[in-house]
Structure 1
Amino acid sequence: MGSSSGDSPPLPHQSDTDTLRPTDTGRYLDTLALAARGAWTVTLAGIRPFAFWGAVLLPLLYLPSLYGVGTEQDTALFLDLVVWHMASLVLGHGHTPFWSQ
């Protein structure tokens, strides 16, 4: 037996709200910014205690490196220590040790 037009289901009607619209890039950028901010927060939460203690302990290495100042290698080491110490100060700034909470 053949099929008649009465046997097939009706096709859905396309309304004005179903038409294709250009994508809203602002929404995607907001989502991307939120995800990046969340990733930075999680990463910083993991790094912050190490950076804090690095900022506390790195100055102890200044004196041994200053003892040999005058050679180019020791001067580069001292400058590296200063850069690492500054980065540790910035990244570890908001850390609160567990005993002071």
Structure 2
Amino acid sequence: MGSSNSDSPPLPHQSDADRLRPTDLSRYLDTLVFAVRGIWTVTLTSVRPFAFWAAVILPLVYLPSLYGVGTGQDTALFLDLVAWHMASIVLGHGHTPFWSR
């Protein structure tokens, strides 16, 4: 009793391309995007009030640094203050203080 190839069903051949189908990849990417958005939201929610108030208070620090502009160290300090102020404006933009809700 010999068996032929037509008696048994063909074995499935799994190539590297079949292991990770586009639907699997999109599912993993969706999960990754969801996780990154969640982390970004939590981080921004905790940083936003501090950035808002830093944007309010940092211009007061400009005056003493402007008084001594002309030396190399004071100019670098002033440029650092401007950079921190711009970053705090961008990060604190969406904050609403509790008294204006």
- TM-score, normalised to structure 2, is 0.78
**Cα distance, 1:44 vs structure 2:** 0.1
What's the RMSD between the two structures over aligned residues?
1.4
1:17 matched to which residue of 2?
none
Deviations 1:55-95 (A, max 9, x none): 00000000100000000000000000000000000000000
Q: Any stretches of 5+ residues in structure 1 without a counterpart? A: 1-19
Aligned residues between the structures: 83
1:84 equivalenced with 2:84 (yes/no): yes
Supply the distance in 2 between the matched residues of 1:100 and 1:76 (Cα, whole angstroms): 37
Supply the distance in 2 between the matched residues of 1:83 and 1:36 (Cα, whole angstroms): 26
Q: Any stretches of 5+ residues in structure 2 without a counterpart? A: 1-13
Supply the distance in 2 between the matched residues of 1:66 and 1:41 (Cα, whole angstroms): 36
Using the aligned pairs only, state the percent identity.
Answer: 76
1:93 matched to which residue of 2?
93
**Cα distance, 1:40 vs structure 2:** 0.2
1:25 is matched by which residue type in structure 2? L
Supply the distance in 2 between the matched residues of 1:25 and 1:55 (Cα, whole angstroms): 41
2:38 matched to which residue of 1?
38
Supply the distance in 1 between the matched residues of 2:47 and 2:19 (Cα, whole angstroms): 41
2:69 is matched by which residue type in structure 1? V
**Cα distance, 1:22 vs structure 2:** 2.1
Supply the distance in 2 between the matched residues of 1:48 and 1:96 (Cα, whole angstroms): 9
2:59 matched to which residue of 1?
59
Supply the distance in 2 between the matched residues of 1:34 and 1:22 (Cα, whole angstroms): 23
2:11 matched to which residue of 1?
none
Which segments of structure 1 move beyond 3 Å, counting only runs of 4 or more? none
